[in-house]
Amino acid sequence: MPFAQGAFGKLYKGTYNGMEVAIKLLERPEADPEKAQLLEQQFVQEVMMLATLRHPNIVKFIGACRKPMVWCIVTEYAKGGSLKHFLSKRQNRSVPLKLAVKQALDVARGMAYVHGLGFIHRDLKSDNLLISGDKSIKIADFGVARIEVKTEGMTPETGTYRWMAPEMIQHRPYNQKVDVYSFGIVLWELVTGSVPFANMTAVQAAFAVVNKGVRPQIPPDCLPALGAIMTRCWDTNPEVRPPFTEVVRMLEQVEMEVLTTVRRARFRCCIAQPKTRD
């Protein structure tokens, strides 16, 4: 039985050389030549990208095969499932701050690497972020990613509205900063544990983002530095959005701040409750 299913295929769990792997099976729609051509294009594209990418925060490519009717892509298996699944199991409870910042850093570091190679992911969202056994994040699903060249012709059909930058929704030319916008929404998900624009349909969310400048509401108890990163990342103007290299630096500062606060709290606890001798 597949453990996940999408528009173009199904994901299965398997073993290869004694290790657990994820197998994405794509069925070529022979009755629809146009769709078959699109699928082939996405298959080749994903294989080429995954074979190029080597980073601890990007799902590891193991192999691929293309035979009549069925094609497959084999990658490492993430035991924790998707970040979206992890958050939904928590039932709108926020992720512990230390873990949320660590996982946000994982995504930012992986995306800094992807952008450094000139690629755009285009569909960055909690569904496409996988959690491995040590709770680190692996970026997955590069089937809709594009090399950052000739961005004029890119269209947003493959993205998801709740995470999608305004320029993508409007079919305007765009660049790598669309991924930064999406990251801002993912960071909000980690901080709140909630679904973005949960009270709207995806289309209503897209309309609100583009025409009313609506963004998810940052909770009042959110760490100010994290709120500031979200606000910059999802700014309407792509030029205002920071590159991922800067996002990494900002999150590293937040991580230090969080660790320092935790140490101080532990120290105060030890002073308040000194050990007693028997």
Residues marked active site are found at 123
Tokens (6 digits) for 86: 């992890």
Tokens (6 digits) for 3: 């453990």
CB 146 within 8 A of CB 208: no
Calpha distance 231→236 (Å, rounded): 10
Sequence-distant (≥ 6) Cβ neighbours of residue 90 within 8 angstroms: 193
CB 139 within 8 A of CB 58: yes
Calpha distance 250→230 (Å, rounded): 11
Inter-axis angle of helices 224-233 and 244-272, nearest 10: 170
